[in-house]
Chains A and B, each alone.
Chain A
Amino acid sequence: MVRKRSLLSKILEVIIVLVTVITHWIIFYFAIITSGKEKADAARLTLELPEKWNFLENYTYVLQYQNGALLKAFRNSMILTVSAILILVLAAASTAYLLQRRTGTIRAISNKLILAGLIVPAAVIPTYWMLDRLHIANTLMGLIAVEVATLFPFATMLYKGYVATIPVEIDEAAIIDGCGPFSLFWRVIFPMVKPITATVVILRSIVVYNDFQNPLYYMSGSGSQTVQLFVFSLKSAWTTDYGHLFAAAIIVSMPIIILYLFLNKKILEGMTAGAVKG
C-alpha cells in the first residue's frame, strides 16, 4: 500500500530522526569521547572533543588495572555465558520435547510449574541457601545453575510451541527406521528446532552476559567477578575518574555492540518470538 506522503509528514519524519540524535546518539557520543579524555578534562563532563586524545592510555590503563582484573572478569563472563547457554539449550529443548509429546500427571504438574516460573520472582536467599548446601555458593558453577534455572521457563515454552508444529508422524517414521528415544530427540527433533535454538542462543547470551542481579547475589562473596560486577566495583572506586570509568564500560559493552552491528535483524526478530500469536 503506497500512499503519497505530504510534505508535512516528511518534515515530521526528519524532526523525529533528529530527536533520536538527542535521545540516543548524544549519550553514546558522550561515553565515547569521555573515555578518551584525561581525568580533569573528563571531570568537566562536556560534549567537547578531548583536549588531549588519551584513548590509548585510558584503555591500556583499564586493561592493566589490578594485573588485568578486567580480562579475568571477562574470562569468567565468557565461561558463564557459554556454559549457561549450552546447558539451557539442551535442558530446555529436551524437556520441552518430552512435555509436548507425553501425556499424564508429570507433564501436567511440570507445565504448571514452568508457567508459574515465567511470572513469579525468584526467592533469592533460599536460592543462596540451596547453593550453599550444594557447596556451589559463590562459585561460577552455582551462578551458571542459577542462570539456567532463571531462563529455563521461557526457553522451554518457546521450544514447546515449536515442537508442537512438528508432526508426530516424523517420530513414528524415525522409530520404524530404528531410532531409540535418545537418538530420536538428538538426531531428529533437535536439528528441527534450530530456529528456536538460534533465538535462544543469541538473545539469552546477551541477557546472561549483561546480568547484574544474579552475580550480585551469588558471586559477590567470591574472589572472582563477572564484567558487570567489575564495572560496578569500578563505579565506586573511580567516582570522579570518568575517563577510565567510561573506557571500562565501553570495553565491557563491546562484544554485544559488535554482535548487534552484525545480527540486528536476527536480534529484533528473535525478540518477538513467543510474544505475538500467529
Chain B
Amino acid sequence: MNRKRYPIWLAIPGLLIYITIFVIPTFASFYFSMTTWNLKTAVFTGTENFRTFFTMTSTRAALINTAIYAVVTCSAKVIFGLLIARYVCSGIRSGNYLKIVIFSPTLLGNVVIGTAFQSVLEPTGIVNQALSAAGISAVRFLTDKSVALAACCAIDIWKGMGTAVIIFVAGLSAIPQDYYEASAIDGATDLKKFTKITLPLIVPTVNTVLTLSLIGGLRDYDLIYTLTGGGPGYSTEVIGSVVYKLFSRGSYGLATAGNVILFAIVSVIVFPLNSFVGKWEERL
C-alpha cells in the first residue's frame, strides 16, 4: 500500500541529480586523491599526494590559516551575534533598523564585497585617511603579512554577522516571556536572567550558528580569494584557495587530496561537535 501510493520514481529526479553531481564525485575523490590524474587517465600513486600536501610550504600555511580563520570568524559570530541579538530584542525602538542594516552585507556577492574593501583598505583608502587624521600611520591591511589574515577575518565577520544575529533573534523570541516575568517577581537581576534563563535556553540556537559558521569558515575561500588572492606570500592562503590554484595549474590529483583533507577536517570537527553540543543541551 505504502509503496503503491508513494512510488519511488517521484523521488528519482532529485536523487539522480544529487547522486550524480554530488555523491559519486565525493566517493570518487577518495580514489582520485591517490592518483596522478589528468581527468582522462589516472595513475595510482598511493599516499604520495597527501605527503606532498603536508610538506609544501603553501599547503602547510593554508592548513594553519584555515584553522585560524574558521575559529576566529566562528567565535566572533557566535559571541557578538548573541550579544547584538539580545540588544536588538531588548525592546529598543531601532531593533528592526539594526536587523535590516546588519543583515544587508549578506546580500552582496563576495566579489563585490572584495572589490569594495580592497579600495576602502588601500594604504590611501578611507580607513587609513581616518587613521592618519587620528595621527596613526598607515596600515597596509591587505598587503602586510602580519595583518592580512586578521583583515580578512574582520571582513568575513562583517559580512556573516547578519545571519548570526537573525538566527539568534529568532531563538531569543522563542523563549517564553513568562520565564522572565516569573524570575522578575522572584527578584532576579538582568545578569541573572541572562545566565540562568537566556543562556541555557539558547543552546540549540548557539549550536546552529556555531555549526553553520564553522562549516562556512572551513570551506569558503572566495571572499579571501577576491580580497588578497591568498597573498601576500602565503599569509592568507586557505585550503579552498590552494585547491583552486592547484586545479588551475592542472595538478588534479594533488588538488583532490587537498579536498579530501578538507572533507576529513570538516567531518572530524563538525559531526562530533553536533553530538557534543546536543548532549550538553540535554543535560541542561
Chain A residues with CB under 8 A of B47: none
Stretch from A49-57, A58-66, A122-130, A192-200 forming part of the interface with B: A122-130
Chain A residues with CB under 8 A of B260: 123
Stretch from B50-58, B71-79, B139-147, B167-175 forming part of the interface with A: B167-175
Chain A residues with CB under 8 A of B112: 231, 249, 252-253
Q: Which of A30, A97, A120, A259 contacts B126 (CB 8 A)?
A: A30
Chain A residues with CB under 8 A of B111: 212, 228, 231-232, 235, 249
Chain A residues with CB under 8 A of B122: 45
B261-272 interface code vs A (CB 8 A; 1 in, 0 out): 011001100110
Is there an interface contact between B11 and A119, defined as CB atoms closer than 8 Å?
Answer: no
Chain A residues with CB under 8 A of B118: 235
Is there an interface contact between A126 and B256, defined as CB atoms closer than 8 Å?
Answer: yes
Contact residues on B (Cβ < 8 Å of other chain), bracket: 35 or more
- Tell me if B199 is interfacial: C-beta within 8 Å of chain A: no
Complexed CA–CA distance, A235 and B14 (Å): 37
Can you name the residue of chain B whose Cβ is closest to the Cβ of A126? Answer: B25
Known interface pairs A16-B87, A264-B100; A152-B18 also in contact (CB < 8 Å): yes
Kindly identify, within residues 98 to 113 of chain B, every residue whose CB is under 8 Å from any CB belonging to chain A.
Answer: 98-105, 107-112
Chain A residues bordering chain B, tally (CB within 8 A): 100
- Tell me if B244 is interfacial: C-beta within 8 Å of chain A: yes
CB distance from A6 to the nearest CB of B (A): 12
CB distance from B212 to the nearest CB of A (A): 8
A235-278 interface code vs B (CB 8 A; 1 in, 0 out): 10000001001100100110011011000100110011001111
Kindly identify, within residues 155 to 175 of chain B, every residue whose CB is under 8 Å from any CB belonging to chain A.
Answer: 158, 163, 166-167, 169-171, 174
Is there an interface contact between A245 and B115, defined as CB atoms closer than 8 Å?
Answer: yes
Complexed CA–CA distance, A92 and B105 (Å): 28
CB distance from A205 to the nearest CB of B (A): 11
Chain B residues with CB under 8 A of A130: 20-21, 24-25, 28
- Tell me if B36 is interfacial: C-beta within 8 Å of chain A: no
- Tell me if A139 is interfacial: C-beta within 8 Å of chain B: no
Q: Which of B15, B39, B218, B266 contacts A129 (CB 8 A)?
A: B39
Can you name the residue of chain B whose Cβ is closest to the Cβ of A43? Answer: B124
Can you spell out 25 A-B residue pairs with CB atoms less than 8 angstroms apart? A13-B92, A16-B94, A30-B116, A30-B126, A44-B124, A45-B119, A87-B17, A94-B14, A101-B6, A110-B15, A117-B18, A120-B267, A123-B260, A123-B263, A129-B28, A149-B18, A175-B5, A212-B110, A216-B222, A228-B109, A235-B114, A242-B119, A246-B119, A252-B109, A267-B103
Q: Which 9 A-B pairs have the closest CB atoms?
A: A95-B14, A91-B14, A123-B29, A126-B25, A149-B21, A98-B11, A272-B170, A210-B109, A121-B219
